[in-house]
Amino acid sequence: MSRAVPQSLHDLGFSGLVEVLAAGGVIAHHAKALWRALHREGELDLTTRSFLPPLRRWIDASVGGDKAFFLDAPEVVDEIRSSDGLTRKFLLRLRDGQVIETVLMGYDGRHTVCVSTQAGCAMGCVFCATGQMGFVRHLRPGEIVAQVLHARRVLKEMHPHKRLRNLVMMGMGEPLHNIDSVMTALEIISDVRGIGIGPSHISISTVGVVPGILRMAEENSPYRLAVSLHGSTEQERAALVPASKRWSLEMLISACRDYGRLTGRRVFFEWTLIEGKNDSPETAARLAVLLAGIDAHINLIPLNPTGGFSGTASGSGHAFQRILRAAGFPCTFRQRRGIDVAAGCGMLKAERRARVALL
Ligand code: SAH
Ligand code: SF4
């Protein structure tokens, strides 16, 4: 029996897979073999692989073409490598033609995948290439999982013995605006029977969607939380992050305090340094007061120029860092060694669009 709307097998957590097999008369035992094929082996063609007969019959009847289920296998439409070869950025086309970015980074022997969670983004941060595009749609869990599988496949080709150990949700989109799909995807990605990236090696980066942060706190979510702050007063922040009109700085910091208290975990704050906007010594001192009492780590990010924003990268990052360190906060610069690959989120897509427009 085929369903009206085909569903991705990559959208399903383990229990979901057990359920759909059960509905097709296949006992739970077989779910493990299918899960292994999908997530441990990263198999994209189930027709050629051998399975026990009941599972084989279900796959033949249910997966592919216009049948009830499909696999998420986005097509690589472009790739850019950094000159040191350590960062590779992929432009992936989804089934409906939407194009998203995924980045594989490998420094000091540690490999990290940076995934997108939405096509475009509704939050409109003024300096962000994705924000400048606007929102298109949320990604399904399977579309997030497929990015990790792709990055792992590429890593395996380069270094057969290296494992993909880290994941950051710092690609296109706002993860906590798509929280249900994100949480399902992360459950799949962290499952040790499959991809097995440890929850403490997974970072969710948010512009400050307060209900999402509170949900992570209440559920004692095992993932790392990174909050993109960029401003130390309502006014300073509102000039860069329109979403702050919806969730004020006060609400956001209070939610971060709740998260720290309830989970006992550190909160990472991201700060894109922009000349004359948020890089003064006074701002650094105010930030230290704002975060007082929070177990906080501050990551400073040099601004990547984007077409739609006239601001420039700050020249006073080190002074800013010194003030925060003197106040007792760990404060580091985000490595941007992949900068020559159009490293900022959404930038490859924006750049490609510009290139195509010239043709
Ligand atoms: N939406 C989430 C995650 C994606 S953006 C968020 O905003 O946190 C990941 C990080 O890249 C954020 O800290 C964001 O502020 C930063 N960023 C976006 N565009 C940038 C640019 N042009 N230069 C430097 N950092 C940028
Ligand atoms: Fe969206 Fe993050 Fe870009 Fe802001 S910085 S527009 S939240 S992707």
**Same domain? 65 vs 97:** no
Rounded Cα distance between 260 and 220, Å, is 10
Do β-strands 224-228 and 110-114 pair in parallel, antiparallel, or remain unpaired? unpaired
Tens of pLDDT, residue by residue over 143-171, are 999 999 999 999 999 999 999 999 999 99
Residues 89 and 198 placed together within one structural domain of the fold: yes
Claim to verify: residue 350 and residue 277 sit in the same structural domain: yes
Distances (CA, A) of 178 to 56, 93, 130, 293, 301: 34, 19, 15, 30, 24
Same domain, 48 and 108: no
CATH assignment at residue 242: 3.20.20.70
Of the residues 118, 121, 230, which should be mutated to test ligand 2's pocket, given the most ligand atoms within 8 Å of the CB? 121
Pair (44, 166) in one structural domain:
no
In the chain, what is the straight-line distance between the N-terminal and C-terminal CA atoms, in Å? 46
Q: Is residue 187 packed enough to be buried (19+ CB in 10 Å), middle (13-18) or exposed (0-12)?
A: middle
Co-location of 36 and 80 in the same domain? no
* Nearest-angstrom CA–CA distance, 264 and 277: 33
Same domain flag for 79 and 42: no
User: How far does residue 170's CA lie from ligand 1's centre (Å)?
Assistant: 7
- How many residues are present in the chain? 359
Mean pLDDT of 97-101: 97
Is the predicted pLDDT of residue 353 greater than 50, yes or no? yes
Tens of pLDDT, residue by residue over 46-80, are 998 999 999 999 999 999 999 999 999 999 999 99
By alpha-carbon position, which residue is closest to atom 19 of ligand 1? 128
**Ligand 2 pocket member 126 (CB < 6 A):** no
pLDDT at position 345:
56
Domain end, chosen from 51, 70, 89, is at: 70
pLDDT digits (tens, 9 = 90+) for 213-243: 999 999 999 999 999 999 999 999 999 999 9
Helix and strand numbers (H, E) in the chain are: 12, 14
* Domain-located, residue 2: no
- C-alpha–C-alpha distance, residues 114 and 12, integer Å: 21
pLDDT digits (tens, 9 = 90+) for 317-339: 999 999 999 999 999 998 654 44
pLDDT reading at 180 higher than 50:
yes
Position 108 scores a pLDDT of 81
Instruction: Note whether 36 and 84 are same-domain residues.
Output: no
Ligand 1 centroid to 163 CA: how many Å? 26
Is residue 1 domain-resident?
no
Q: Has residue 133 been placed in a domain?
A: yes
Which residues span the domain enclosing 247? 75-356
Ligand 1 center to residue 304 CA distance, Å?
10
Last residue of a domain, one of 36, 70, 104: 70
Task: Say yes or no: 109 and 234 in one domain.
Answer: yes
